[in-house]
Structure 1
Amino acid sequence: MVRRSPVRSATDAAAETVALVLDESVPLPASQTDVDDLVARLRGHIVDLANLLVPGRLGHAPEQLSRAVVRADTLRHRPAPHDHVGSRIYLVRLAEVTQELASVASTFEVCSAEQPRVPDPEPPQGLLHAIRFATSKGLP
């Protein structure tokens, strides 16, 4: 059995869901239930990717990573509109920030593989830690 890296698995899963929303050959969902399902899946991918990419886990995080995490988390916490057009716009924006976060994750995985990481004395505290880090750096 081949084991996959957690970052690669998370980015692959996110890419599949993002494609359901952003692929021009696939129409946006017709039913609000389908939109809500995709929104929930994208929010879950954001959490998964952010938990893998928190600065405490990866050492010194690049500014691009911190901004991507904060942008994605901010949108993730906004309530989804329930009107037809607004909910689809929100879905597309959520897919775009998820795609950005997955892209940064893939890039950072390649960079971090070349540079050994010193283990942290404490385990990461997830998304909250990333937000605190970004806030302390004055990022929006």
Structure 2
Amino acid sequence: MNLRLSRVTVRRKSAEVTGSSRSVTAPVRETLALVLDENAPALDSDRDIDDIVLRLRGHLTELGHAAPDPPRPVIEKALRAARKLADVDVPTGHVKARVHLRQLAEAVKLVITELASVGAVCGHRPECPSAENHDFQAAQIRVRRPEIGCSELCNGVLVFDDTGCLLPSGEVVAPQRSMPLVETGPKAVTS
């Protein structure tokens, strides 16, 4: 498998997603698919394995920045375990290297799962648009609050029953109400 072509595709796709912490998972999931999906092409060379390990190390750095502050113990534990695997040199021998790569990929997948469980990253597929994206209201509802007339979306946007929104940045988006239809009867013909 030639990962150089694959690398260009991953960069192009991740550039399409805007820069919020929720968009961090898209390229990570693509890299994990190269390792964990049964239908993924086999990694034929040690160079391919080294390339994927380097990608996963970079992804771990980005995921660490997406962690909530103050850090949650379960997330810290998952990050620590994944970083420990990432810091180990890739073993020599193709089979040992593949086993190490799979263990690292599983550890990174656990980090994403833990971050998604606390809402630090989006766990939906396809990933919800970020609050900075033009279609931010397409995100899934995380919490409904009917008692106060709003819902919190996965991207942190509050959507009110009157269709107004409050973005995580504090910006207010006015309600998007359509004009009411005025019923008109048949026009009288005057002569």
Same fold (TM over 0.5): yes
Aligned partner of 2:90 in structure 1 is 80
In structure 2, list runs of 5 or more residues that go unmatched.
1-15, 121-141, 143-153, 158-191
The amino acid that maps onto 2:30 is E
Q: Decide whether the 8 Å contact of 1:7 with 1:109 is kept in 2.
A: no
1:99-118 superposed matches below 5 A? 99-109=109-119, 113=156
1:11 corresponds, among 10, 16, 25, to 25
Q: What is the alpha-carbon distance in structure 1 between the residues aligned to residue 53 and residue 74 of structure 2?
A: 24
2:104 corresponds, among 94, 98, 105, to 94
How many residues are aligned here?
110
Aligned partner of 2:127 in structure 1 is none
Aligned partner of 2:59 in structure 1 is 45
Q: What is the alpha-carbon distance in structure 2 between the residues aligned to residue 81 and residue 42 of structure 1?
A: 16
SS at match of 1:25: coil
2:77 corresponds, among 59, 63, 67, to 67
The amino acid that maps onto 1:24 is E
Q: What is the alpha-carbon distance in structure 2 between the residues aligned to residue 77 and residue 42 of structure 1?
A: 11
Summarize the Cα distance change of 1:3–1:79 in structure 2 as closer, same or farther, 3 Å threshold: closer
The amino acid that maps onto 1:20 is L
Aligned partner of 2:176 in structure 1 is none
The amino acid that maps onto 1:75 is L
TM-aligned CA deviation for residue 22 of structure 1:
0.1
TM-aligned CA deviation for residue 28 of structure 1:
3.1
Question: Computing the radius of gyration over CA atoms, which structure comes out larger, 1 or 2?
Answer: 2
Q: What is the alpha-carbon distance in structure 2 between the residues aligned to residue 72 and residue 89 of structure 1?
A: 14
Q: Percent identity?
A: 31
TM-score when normalising by structure 2: 0.51
RMSD over aligned Cα atoms: 2.4
1:111-126 superposed matches below 5 A? 113=156
